[in-house]
Structure 1
Amino acid sequence: MSQHESGRDSASTSELISRLSDELKTLVRDEMRLAQIEVGSKAKRAGVGAGIIGAGGLLALYGLGVLIAAAVLALALVVDAWLAALIVAVVILVIAGIAALLGKKRVQEAGAPVPQATVESVKADVDAVRHARDH
Structure 2
Amino acid sequence: MTDPYVPDPNGRTESLGQLLGEVSKDISTLFRQEVELAKAELSESAKKAGKGAGMFGGAGVAGFLALMFLSIAAWWGIGLLTGNVWSALIVAVIWGIIAGILAMRGKKEVDEITGAPKTADTLKKVPEAFKTSEDKR
TM class by smaller structure: 0.5 to 0.7
- Assess, with a 3 A threshold, how the Cα gap between structure 1 residues 35 and 94 changes in structure 2: closer, same or farther: farther
Name the amino acid aligned to 1:75.
I
SS at match of 2:81: coil
Gaps of 5+ in 1: 112-135
Distance 1:72 1:93 in 2: 15
Percent identity reads 34
Equivalent in the alignment of 1:77: 80
Give the superposition deviation at 1:71.
Answer: 0.8
Structure that is richer in helix per residue:
1
Give the superposition deviation at 1:11.
Answer: 4.5
- Assess, with a 3 A threshold, how the Cα gap between structure 1 residues 96 and 24 changes in structure 2: closer, same or farther: farther
Aligned-pair Cα RMSD in Å: 3.1
Equivalent in the alignment of 2:9: none
Give the superposition deviation at 1:26.
Answer: 0.6
Q: Which has the larger radius of gyration?
A: 2
Distance 1:44 1:25 in 2: 29
Structure 1 length normalisation: TM-score?
A: 0.59
Q: Which has the higher contact order (CA 8 A, sep 6+)?
A: 1
Q: Which 4+ runs in 1 deviate beyond 6 A?
A: none
Paired residues, number: 99
Give the superposition deviation at 1:44.
Answer: 0.6
- Assess, with a 3 A threshold, how the Cα gap between structure 1 residues 65 and 12 changes in structure 2: closer, same or farther: same
Structure 2 length normalisation: TM-score?
A: 0.58
Name the amino acid aligned to 2:47.
K
Gaps of 5+ in 2: 6-12, 117-137
Task: Tell me, yes or no, if structure 1 residue 22 matches structure 2 residue 25.
Answer: yes
Question: Which digits, 9 at most, give the CA deviation of each residue in 1:29-81, with x for residues without a partner?
Answer: 11111221121111110111111222222222222211110111122233342
Give the superposition deviation at 1:23.
Answer: 0.9
Name the amino acid aligned to 1:71.
A
Give the superposition deviation at 1:17.
Answer: 0.4
Name the amino acid aligned to 2:106.
L
Within a 5 Å distance, the mapping from 1:39-54 to structure 2 comes to 39-54=42-57
- Assess, with a 3 A threshold, how the Cα gap between structure 1 residues 95 and 14 changes in structure 2: closer, same or farther: same
Question: Which digits, 9 at most, give the CA deviation of each residue in 1:89-125, with x for residues without a partner?
Answer: 23224434517829x76xx79x9xxxxxxxxxxxxxx
